[in-house]
Structure 1
Amino acid sequence: MKKREEPQKENHERWLITYADLITLLLIFFVVMYTLSKIDANKYYAIASSLAKTMGGSQSIMESGGPSMVPGASESKELDTVMENLEQQNMEKIKRQIQEYVDQNGLSGKVTVSIEERGVVVSFQDVVLFPLGVAELNPSSRDIVDKVGAILRQTPNYIRVEGHTDNLPIRTSKFPSNWELSLARSASVVHRLIEFSDIPPDRLSATGYGEYRPRRPNDSDTNRQQNRRVDIVVLRTKFQEVEPEAVDKPIVNQATQ
Structure 2
Amino acid sequence: MSRKREHEPEKENGERWMLTYLDLITLLMIFFVVLYSMSKVDTQKFQAVAESLNKALSGSTPAKIEISTNPVGPSLIQTGSPPEKTPNTNTPPDANVNAGQTNGNVERMSLEAIKAKLDKFAADNGIQTTLVTSIEERGLVVSIQETLLFESGSADITARARDILEKVSTVLAAAPNQIKVEGHTDNLPIRTPQFPSNWELSVIRSTNVVQILQRDGIPPSRLSATGYGEYRPISSNDTDAGRGKNRRIDLIILHTKYEVTEPQ
Determine if the TM-score, normalized by the shorter chain, exceeds 0.5.
Answer: yes
- Report the alpha carbon displacement of residue 72 of structure 1 after superposing the two structures with TM: 6.6
- Mapped partners of 1:104, 1:72: distance in 2: 48
- SS in structure 2 opposite 1:206? strand
User: Which entry has the higher C-alpha Rg, 1 or 2?
Assistant: 2
Structure with a larger share of its residues in helix: 1
- SS in structure 1 opposite 2:94? helix
- Mapped partners of 1:126, 1:195: distance in 2: 21
* Change over 3 Å in CA distance of 1:194–1:69 after alignment to 2: farther
Matched, 1:183 2:211: no
**1:104 aligned residue (96, 113, 124):** 124
Matched, 1:239 2:264: no
- Report the alpha carbon displacement of residue 73 of structure 1 after superposing the two structures with TM: 4.8
- Report the alpha carbon displacement of residue 75 of structure 1 after superposing the two structures with TM: 2.5
- Mapped partners of 1:204, 1:89: distance in 2: 22
Q: For each residue in 1:166-207, what CA deviation from the matched residue of structure 2 results, as whole angstroms up to 9, or x when unmatched?
A: 0000111111110010010110110000012x1110100000
Q: Which residue matches 1:157? A: 177
- Mapped partners of 2:211, 2:240: distance in 1: 30
Q: Structure 2: 5+ residue runs without aligned partners?
A: 1-87
Q: For each residue in 1:81-120, what CA deviation from the matched residue of structure 2 results, as whole angstroms up to 9, or x when unmatched?
A: 1110110110110000000000000002111011111111
- Mapped partners of 1:107, 1:171: distance in 2: 31
Alignment identity in percent?
A: 47
- Report the alpha carbon displacement of residue 222 of structure 1 after superposing the two structures with TM: 1.2
Q: For each residue in 1:36-77, what CA deviation from the matched residue of structure 2 results, as whole angstroms up to 9, or x when unmatched?
A: xxxxxxxxxxxxxxxxxxxxxxxxxxxxxxxx9945752221
* Change over 3 Å in CA distance of 1:119–1:69 after alignment to 2: farther
Matched, 1:88 2:108: yes
- Mapped partners of 2:92, 2:256: distance in 1: 23
Residue type matched to 1:106 in 2? G
Q: Which residue matches 1:206? A: 225
- Mapped partners of 1:70, 1:154: distance in 2: 37
- Mapped partners of 1:70, 1:133: distance in 2: 64
- SS in structure 1 opposite 2:232? coil
Structure-1-length-normalised TM-score: 0.67
- SS in structure 1 opposite 2:258? helix
- Mapped partners of 2:146, 2:89: distance in 1: 51
- Mapped partners of 1:76, 1:140: distance in 2: 47
CA root-mean-square deviation: 1.5
Q: Contact conserved, 1:126 with 1:230, CA < 8 A, in 2? A: yes
- Mapped partners of 1:188, 1:119: distance in 2: 22
- SS in structure 1 opposite 2:251? strand
- Report the alpha carbon displacement of residue 235 of structure 1 after superposing the two structures with TM: 0.3
**2:245 aligned residue (217, 223, 226):** 226
Matched, 1:130 2:183: no
Aligned length: 177
Structure-2-length-normalised TM-score: 0.65
Q: Contact conserved, 1:165 with 1:227, CA < 8 A, in 2? A: yes
